[in-house]
Structure 1
Amino acid sequence: MECLFRALKTKGFQLEATHMTLHDHVERLLCLLTLTYTWCVLVGITLDCPKKAHGRRAWSVVKMGSRELVRSFSRESARLCDLIDLLMSSHTNYPETVGY
């Protein structure tokens, strides 16, 4: 949860910069940004990322996913269809072995 709120507030989506106060508008925007965050994570985990000396990723999954989505939308590439396909339920369901 903390990663989500950090991404929504200061690390990319700048939710606080909207200065929205109407409850319905904030609620819709929060739902949309949460969906976008999830999409960025799904895209980011599919990308290869260079590792730092200590073995961790050089960039966060969210940042990489966000950059890839922006590139795909701006170039109108065929990859955009693949990225949209990541939102389909077959890619977002938990494996049956998890036990949820």
Structure 2
Amino acid sequence: MDFLNRKGIRYHIRIQNNFKVYLPRRQKQVPAWHLFNNLKVGQMRNYEHIVKVNGRLYYLSGTKSVSEGKLEYLILISYNKPDEALAYYRIRWQVECLFQGIKSSGFNIEDTHVVALDRLEKLVLLVMIAFVWCYLIGDYIDRQIRPIQIKRHGRRAVSVSKYGLDYLSRVLLPEYNRFNIISLHLLLYTKSKGLN
């Protein structure tokens, strides 16, 4: 954090709910969640004063949610522009989901034994194209044919990309193509989405 602060690099990083936060104006220390305890579920707020965490000055932003029946807080520390923190963090979460998709949720890119940089770049590019294709197929099936099941906790049973990957991996076998989608149509659908 010191390095980022010295260089003036913007960041929005999640901290644990129980991190001790020192409030200079009130001369007291409280757990971070305490500053966002009065929020309603789904409500977001940027704490109006600069605070100290581990002896360094930060801005705080937070929101409250319920996941699987438990109350959860998302609390971010920022170097500056705290009003952007939650929006940027949401984008970052999409990137995390992408990483999960190309790693453990189907493509297993971390299992590669490729070490030559130029080959690794090509491999990553191919996996990214395949990931986007699977996402578009999953999105098409979810919207047009059969929606993904929603679990009791309110989240999808599988991700959109995994839904497409599961179907695509089987559609190449003639006996499995239960939605009777012609593979060429999947390619044309991809092209219509601007991935030609």
**TM-score per shorter chain, which class?**
0.7 to 0.9
**Structure 1 residue ranges (4+ consecutive) displaced by more than 4 angstroms after TM superposition:** none
Q: Which has the higher strand share?
A: 2
5+ residue gaps, structure 2:
1-94, 142-146
5+ residue gaps, structure 1:
94-100
Mapped contact 1:72–1:80 kept (Cα < 8 A): yes
Identity of aligned residues (%): 36
Partner of 1:97: none
State yes or no: 1:71 paired with 2:195. Answer: no
Cα displacement string for residues 5-53 of structure 1 (whole angstroms, at most 9, x for unaligned residues): 1111222111111111001110110000000000011011112212212
CA displacement at 1:55 relative to structure 2: 3.1
After TM superposition, the score normalised by the length of structure 2 is 0.43
Distance 1:80 1:26 in 2: 28
State yes or no: 1:13 paired with 2:107. Answer: yes
Partner of 1:31: 125
CA displacement at 1:68 relative to structure 2: 1.1
Mapped contact 2:107–2:127 kept (Cα < 8 A): yes
CA displacement at 1:54 relative to structure 2: 3.2
Mapped contact 1:39–1:86 kept (Cα < 8 A): no
RCO higher in 1 or 2 (8 Å CA, sep ≥ 6)? 1
Partner of 2:194: 92
Q: Which is higher, the Rg of structure 1 or of structure 2?
A: 2
Mapped contact 1:49–1:58 kept (Cα < 8 A): yes
**RMSD between superposed Cα atoms in Å:** 1.9
Q: Which has the higher helix share?
A: 1
Number of aligned pairs?
Answer: 92
After TM superposition, the score normalised by the length of structure 1 is 0.79
Cα displacement string for residues 42-100 of structure 1 (whole angstroms, at most 9, x for unaligned residues): 01111221221233221111111001111211228652112111220x3238xxxxxxx
Mapped contact 1:40–1:65 kept (Cα < 8 A): yes
